[in-house]
Amino acid sequence: MEDLYKYENTKRIVDKYDFVFKKKYGQNFLMDKSILDEIIYSADISKDDVVLEIGPGIGTLTQLLAEKAGHVIAVEIDKELIKILENDTLKEYNNVELINNDILKMDIGELTSRYKHRRMKVVANLPYYITTPIIMKLLESNAPLDSITIMVQKEVADRLISTHLDKDCGAISLAVQYHSEPSIVCEVSREAFIPSPNVDSTVIKLKILKEKRIKVTNEELFFNLIKVAFGQRRKTLVNCINNQTSYFKNKEEILEIFDKLGFTPNVRGEKLSMEDYKNLAEEISKRS
């Protein structure tokens, strides 16, 4: 195996296939051996594990995953890269399954169902333009995931790791807290990639909780309220709920429930805790 984190090896592959990096797919390849080692170490992979990698690129991380894991499923949107992976960089590995698809169009539950009795881990250097939808998709998939170890833009990592909600938080911060124990693995300078992106990155690990952080009866309603609350940040929560849902006939009904739950009438979504959303969802459930 040729170490692809070495510039001359990646350059040889790029030149051989006349590969042109596609900005629209967030193609920034990781070239730093110490960061790759940190990712592999913190993901804690063994031969018992099945790893899902999103966006293998030319296979720099994939090769290391294949050495450690029992099986690797690698989903790559770019056909040109699939050709390189199949014919060249991954051809020595018989435990890697390559799928040419858009991860956002795939059913993660179905993709992982063949391995439901194995420990399943996600490891990826994510394309930044779709970080949030990918994380939401993974968390909402109900696939038997043990952990998600991912490289994301530094600002996104700060938001995901934060335990107190503030104006920078989004629905995703609550979803991460609800499903997992998040931690920072390491910070990564933009210089560690070719081509170099405009932002620095952070590797984070989301250890999926066996029991969700709080017990919620109607998860769909709970998350719908959170998405509605964070969808129009400049509006008060009453207005968000009134404009975007049909749980209540009018604002007065919403304010009645707010009063009962001890929320101020002009509260914004980011000021409420996960428990507050759970209580609100329960009050709404009681009415229907």
Cis check: omega of the bond before 195, within 30 degrees of 0: yes
Residues paired with 180 in a beta bridge:
208
Pick from 142, 155, 141: nearest CA to 104: 141
E strands, the chain, where?
A: 29-30, 49-54, 71-76, 96-100, 119-125, 145-153, 180-188, 193-194, 201-208
Supply the minimum distance, in Å, between the C-beta of residue 35 and ligand SAM.
Answer: 9
**Nearest residue to ligand SAM, scored by beta-carbon proximity:** 55
**91 three-state secondary structure:** coil
**50 vs 134 by CB, closer to ligand SAM:** 134
Minimum distance between the CB of residue 220 and ligand SAM, rounded to whole angstroms? 25
Shortest distance in whole angstroms from residue 15 CB to ligand SAM: 17
Supply the minimum distance, in Å, between the C-beta of residue 211 and ligand SAM.
31
Cβ pair 122, 116 in contact under 8 A: no
Give the residue with the Cβ less far from ligand SAM, 57 or 170.
57
Q: What are phi and psi of 275, to 5 degrees?
A: -60, -40
Give me the least distance between CB of 176 and ligand SAM, in Å please. 20
Nearest residue (CB) to ligand SAM, 110 versus 181? 110
Instruction: With CA atoms as reference, report the closest residue to 177 among 151, 217, 204.
Output: 204
**Cβ 129 to ligand SAM, closest distance in Å?**
7
Amino acid at 80: E
User: What are residue 124's DSSP bridge partners?
Assistant: 150
128 vs 152: CA distance, rounded Å: 7
Query: Is the CB of 58 or the CB of 221 nearer to ligand SAM?
Result: 58
Measured from the CB atom, the residue of 87 and 243 that comes closer to ligand SAM is 87
Rounded distance, CA 221 to CA 9, Å?
A: 50
Please, what is the minimum distance in Å from the beta carbon of residue 230 to ligand SAM?
23
Instruction: Please list, in sequence order, all residues whose beta carbon lies within 8 angstroms of the beta carbon of residue 263, skipping any fewer than 6 positions away.
Output: 237, 272, 276, 280
Binding-site ranges for ligand SAM (CB under 6 A): 25-30, 54-57, 60-61, 75-78, 81, 102-104, 125, 127, 130
Radius of gyration of the chain (CA): 21
Report helix angle 251-261 to 237-244, nearest 10: 140
Which residue, 57 or 269, has its beta carbon nearer to ligand SAM? Answer: 57
Rounded distance between C-alpha atoms, residue 208 and residue 182, angstroms: 9
Nearer to ligand SAM, 93 or 263 (CB): 93
Least distance (Å) between residue 173 CB and ligand SAM: 22
Of residues 181 and 187, the one with the C-beta less far from ligand SAM: 187
